[in-house]
Structure 1
Amino acid sequence: NPENEDILRQLVELFSKYSFKEVSTDILGDAYEWILKYFAPTKAKEGEVYTPREVIELMVEMVDPEEKKSLYDPALGSGGILIAAYKYLKEKKNVSPHKLCGQEVNSKTLAIAEMNLLLHDIEAKFELGDTLLYPKFKEGDFIEVFDYVLANPPWNQDGYGEETLKKGDYAEKRFVYGYPPNNSADWAWIQHMLASAREKVAIVLDTGSVSRGGREKEIRRRVIEDDLFECVVLLPEKLFYNTGAPSVIIIFNKKKPLNRKGKILLINASREYEEGKKQNTLSDENIKKIVKAYKAFKDIEKFSKVITIEDAKEADYNLSPSRFVSVAEEEEYRLIGEIVADLKKVEEERKKVEEKLMKILKAIK
C-alpha cells in the first residue's frame, strides 16, 4: 500500500547515508529479510503468501541438497528459498550449489529478490515472466532440467485452466498428467516443477491440493500411480503471515530408494508448533522431529504413517495426512457394569441425603 511504500522509501534514503563495508553480508541479508517479513501483506492476494523462514528451512532440510547440484525456484518471490538452500550447503556441508535459478512474474518482486541475494553475497540467475505460460529457462527444444526444484507458488491461483495453459510454451510436454480446473493452478505448478526436476521436488500448497476431487483428483491419481509422491507433511495452522489456513509440504522424488518404491509417507505435524500472539512458528525441535521422521520413513504413533499406492487408491486418492494419522487424544471407555455400579452408589447416597432432609423438615414443623 502507499503508506508502506513511503516507509520503504524513507528506509532506503536512511541507509544510503551510511557505509556498510565492514558489516557481514549475513547480517545485512538477515536485516533485509526481516524488513521483508515486517512488510509482508496482511491478506493473501491471488493466493500469494510470504513464506516464513522456518518453513523454508524445513523444506530445504527434507530435500537435503548435495554438492555440485542445481536448484530452481519457479515462483521466486523474495528469493528466500534459494538463500536458505545456499546457506544449508555452506553451513552443513561447506560446499556451494552448482547453480541457482529462479523465475518471477512480478518485476517489483524480482527486484526485491535480486537485492536480497546481492546483500547475502549469493550469485544466481533470475528471469522475469509467467512461469506457467512462458518458462524462461530452456535447454534444447524443452525447458531446462534442474536437480532440485523448490517453491511456494500462489495457492489456488485462478485463470490457468486448460484453454489458457494450452496457449503457453511446451504445454503438452509439461502438463502430461492433465490440465487443472480454471479456479486452481496448484497442479499446473506441480507438473511444471516435475517436468523441471531431475531428482526431488518440494512444494508448499493449500491442504486441498492433496484431497480435492474433479480434475485435480484425476491428475493426482496419475502422479500417485507413477510413484512420484514420496511424502506429504501437514503443517500447523497460522504459520503464514497473511493467511491462517494450514498447508502441506509435498515431496516428490524421481529417484526413490528401492525400499520406498510404491510407498508414501504421511506426516501429521499439525500439533508441531510454538504458539504466538498473531501467528504460530516452527521451533528447531519441531523441524528436527519432522525431518527425522521423513528420514526414518516409518510409522510413528500419532505422527506418521507409511501407506502403499493401493492404500491411496482405497482412500480415493486423498492423501491428507489427517485422514490416516489422528493426533486426537484417545477417549477412555468404561465397562457398562462399572457405570451401573457407580449409578447405584449415587442413587443410594441420594436416598440417604433425602431421608436426612425429610427428618430436618419434620423437626422444623
Structure 2
Amino acid sequence: LGMGYVFEELIRKFNEENNEEAGEHFTPREIIELMTHLVFLPVKEQIKQGTWLIYDNACGSGGMLTESKEFITDPEGLIQSKANIYLYGQEINPETYAICKADMLIKGEDPDHIKFGSTLSNDQQNLQFDFMLSNPPYGKSWENDQKILGVEKKGSNSTCNDSRFSVGITSKSDGQMMFLLNTLSKMKTDTPLGSRIASVHNGSSLFNSDSGMVAIRKHIIENDYLEAIVALPTNMFYNTGIPTFIWIITNKKSEHKKGKVQLINTTNEEYFSKMKKSLGSKQNEMTKEHIEKITKLFLENASNKDCKILDNEDFGYTKIIIEKPKSIEALKDDEKFAKLKDKDKILEKLEQLEKNPQNFKDRKEFIKFLGVKLKKSEENLIIDSDKTNNTEKIPLKTDIQNYYDTEVKPYVKNSWIAWDSASVGYEILFNKYFYTYTPPRKLEEINNELEKLEKEVQDLLREIVQ
C-alpha cells in the first residue's frame, strides 16, 4: 500500500505538468478530499460495515477512487469503516488508463474493475453503484461519441437508442452532462441508502439554455435528486482558472432535505488561501481547515451569507412566447402577405389597433378580431412570434397571467400569450443568491482623486520642460 502512495505521488507530479486542456485536467487532492467529505460523511454511520461499490466514469489515473476508499477506511479518519469497498472506473485515455490499472494492482485492488474506452459510447460497467465521484471533461466535444451512438436530431431535441440518455442529449460541443446522466442511470433504487454522487462541472451546466442541458436539469430537480451545489474558488485547477461547481446528487434524500437544494458559496477568501508558488493556472488551494469549514456548512444545512436553502421550484421557470401582430409597414413590404385576398381588411383592422391599442387573451381572440378566416400558415404571415426577441421566463412560483398583466401588457401593446409555447425549465443562477451590493463611490471622493492625479501629471510635465 505504501508503494501505491509513492506511485500516486509520481502520477500527481506528472499530471500537474502535462494536463493541457481545460476539459482534461488532473483533480487537485484537496478538491477530491472535499468531495469525499460531502459524499460520505452524511451517511457515515450506515457505511461502517457492509459492502459498498464506488465508481468514477472518467477515472483518469484513479485518484478519486483510491482517495475515497482511504477516506472511508482510514483507522484514524472520520468514518473508520471496516466495510468491504470495491472500486470501479472507466477511462478513455490509454496512458492514464494504464497508470490507473497499475496503481490498482500495486494497492491490492482488482485491476479488472477498471475498463478502457469511452464511457459515453462504449459503457462497460453494467452495475449499479452506491457512490459515484467524477470530474468529467467539460467544454469538450463529444461529436465522435454522438456518431457512434447514432444520435438523431428531431426538431430542437436529439435522441438515440441508449436508454441512459433518454432524458436528453446535449449539443456535440459539450458532453459533460452526459457523464452525469450516465451516473444517474447507475443509481441503486432498491436499497435504504440509494446512491450518492459528487460530480465537478463548469458554470455552463447550471444555466446553459441548450435543450439537452435544460432537460437534464429539469429531470434532476423535478425528481428531487439535487441535494447541493458547491461553488468552488477560481484558479483551483492546474490548467484552467474557470469557475467550477460540485454537484451533490442522491436519490434517497433525508427527510429534512426533501424538496430543497442547498447552495454553498466558497469563492471568498475565507475558504481558500493563495499558494506561495503557482502551478500553471492553480493559484489557490484549500487546507484541511478550509475543507472542515465547508463541510460544516454542508452538514449544518442552515441559511447564512455563504449557504442558501432553497425550494426546488425556486430554480424553475415557465418560458412563454409573447405574440403580437407585425407592423403595418412590414406587412406592406411582404410579397406573401400581398397575395392574401383579405389583406386590405386585415390592414384596416391593424390601423384601428394602432389608434386604439388593446390586448388579447390568445391568438384565437386576435384572429376573431380581424374578422377573417386564415390558415395557420397565413396567420404566421401576420403574427410576430419571434422566439429570440419575444420570450419571457416567468418564475414557477409566479402566476403567468398576473406576470403578463403587470410586466408585459403595459409595454407591449396589442399582444397576447402564446399558451401552446409554454415550457418549464430550470436554471441555477448562483450570483442571484449571493450577490452583495457595493455602493458606488461618492462623487466628492472621485473628484478629489481626479484633482490629485491632474496635479501629479502637471508636476511631471514641469519636470520634463525643465
Asked if the contact 1:89–1:97 (Cα under 8 Å) also holds between the matched residues in 2, the reply is no
Alignment-derived partner of residue 295 in structure 2: 291
1:255 aligns with 2:255: no
1:212 aligns with 2:208: yes
Name structure 1 gaps, 5 residues minimum: 1-24, 139-143, 347-365
1:183 aligns with 2:180: no
Whichever residue aligns with residue 118 of structure 1, its letter is L
Question: Could you tell me how far 1:162 is from its partner in structure 2?
Answer: 8.9
Match of 1:319 among 420, 428, 440: 428
Q: Structure 1, residues 268-313: CA drift from partner, whole Å, max 9, x if none?
A: 1112211113121111111111111111222122x11011122111
Question: Could you tell me how far 1:267 is from its partner in structure 2?
Answer: 0.6
Which 10-residue stretch deviates more, 149-158 or 119-128?
119-128
SS in structure 2 of the partner of residue 197 of structure 1? coil
SS in structure 1 of the partner of residue 170 of structure 2? coil
Alpha-carbon distance between aligned partners in 2 of 1:83 and 1:162, rounded to the nearest angstrom: 28
Alpha-carbon distance between aligned partners in 2 of 1:322 and 1:161, rounded to the nearest angstrom: 35
Whichever residue aligns with residue 145 of structure 1, its letter is Q
Alpha-carbon distance between aligned partners in 2 of 1:151 and 1:245, rounded to the nearest angstrom: 18
Q: Which runs of 4+ in 1 moved over 6 A?
A: none
Give the TM-score of the pair, scaled to structure 1: 0.76
Whichever residue aligns with residue 62 of structure 1, its letter is L
Asked if the contact 1:86–1:96 (Cα under 8 Å) also holds between the matched residues in 2, the reply is no
Alpha-carbon distance between aligned partners in 1 of 2:110 and 2:83, rounded to the nearest angstrom: 11
C-alpha distance 148-160 of structure 1, shift in aligned 2 (>3 A):
farther
Question: Could you tell me how far 1:177 is from its partner in structure 2?
Answer: 1.6
Q: Structure 1, residues 227-263: CA drift from partner, whole Å, max 9, x if none?
A: 1111100001111111122211001110011211111
Greater strand proportion: 2
Name structure 2 gaps, 5 residues minimum: 152-159, 189-194, 318-394, 396-424, 449-466
1:57 aligns with 2:33: yes
C-alpha distance 123-90 of structure 1, shift in aligned 2 (>3 A):
farther
Q: Structure 1, residues 5-47: CA drift from partner, whole Å, max 9, x if none?
A: xxxxxxxxxxxxxxxxxxxx33x33332222222224553371
Alpha-carbon distance between aligned partners in 1 of 2:19 and 2:103, rounded to the nearest angstrom: 23
Match of 1:112 among 99, 103, 112: 99
The equivalences for 1:195-234 within 5 A come to: 195-198=185-188, 199-215=195-211, 216-234=213-231
C-alpha distance 307-323 of structure 1, shift in aligned 2 (>3 A):
same
Alpha-carbon distance between aligned partners in 2 of 1:190 and 1:324, rounded to the nearest angstrom: 24
Question: Could you tell me how far 1:220 is from its partner in structure 2?
Answer: 1.2
1:308 aligns with 2:296: no
Higher Cα radius of gyration:
2
Asked if the contact 2:22–2:239 (Cα under 8 Å) also holds between the matched residues in 1, the reply is no
The equivalences for 1:31-110 within 5 A come to: 31-40=6-15, 41=17, 44-45=20-21, 47-64=23-40, 66=47, 67=49, 68-91=51-74, 92-110=79-97
The equivalences for 1:328-347 within 5 A come to: 328=436, 331=439
Question: Could you tell me how far 1:50 is from its partner in structure 2?
Answer: 0.4
SS in structure 1 of the partner of residue 114 of structure 2? strand
Asked if the contact 2:120–2:145 (Cα under 8 Å) also holds between the matched residues in 1, the reply is no
Identity %: 28
Asked if the contact 1:207–1:320 (Cα under 8 Å) also holds between the matched residues in 2, the reply is no
1:134 aligns with 2:122: yes
Alignment-derived partner of residue 418 in structure 2: none
C-alpha distance 273-108 of structure 1, shift in aligned 2 (>3 A):
same
1:245 aligns with 2:210: no
Alignment-derived partner of residue 14 in structure 1: none
C-alpha distance 291-46 of structure 1, shift in aligned 2 (>3 A):
closer
Question: Could you tell me how far 1:325 is from its partner in structure 2?
Answer: 1.9
Whichever residue aligns with residue 310 of structure 1, its letter is E
Question: Could you tell me how far 1:98 is from its partner in structure 2?
Answer: 3.6
Question: Could you tell me how far 1:187 is from its partner in structure 2?
Answer: 1.3
Question: Could you tell me how far 1:331 is from its partner in structure 2?
Answer: 4.8
Whichever residue aligns with residue 284 of structure 2, its letter is N
SS in structure 2 of the partner of residue 150 of structure 1? strand
Whichever residue aligns with residue 182 of structure 1, its letter is K
Alpha-carbon distance between aligned partners in 1 of 2:289 and 2:129, rounded to the nearest angstrom: 31
Give the TM-score of the pair, scaled to structure 2: 0.60
The equivalences for 1:134-153 within 5 A come to: 134-138=122-126, 144-153=127-136
Asked if the contact 2:199–2:247 (Cα under 8 Å) also holds between the matched residues in 1, the reply is yes
Alignment-derived partner of residue 138 in structure 2: 155
Asked if the contact 1:200–1:254 (Cα under 8 Å) also holds between the matched residues in 2, the reply is yes
Alpha-carbon distance between aligned partners in 2 of 1:264 and 1:250, rounded to the nearest angstrom: 11
Q: Structure 1, residues 90-128: CA drift from partner, whole Å, max 9, x if none?
A: 113232444211111122211111222333344451111
SS in structure 2 of the partner of residue 275 of structure 1? strand
C-alpha distance 133-115 of structure 1, shift in aligned 2 (>3 A):
same
Alpha-carbon distance between aligned partners in 1 of 2:196 and 2:225, rounded to the nearest angstrom: 9
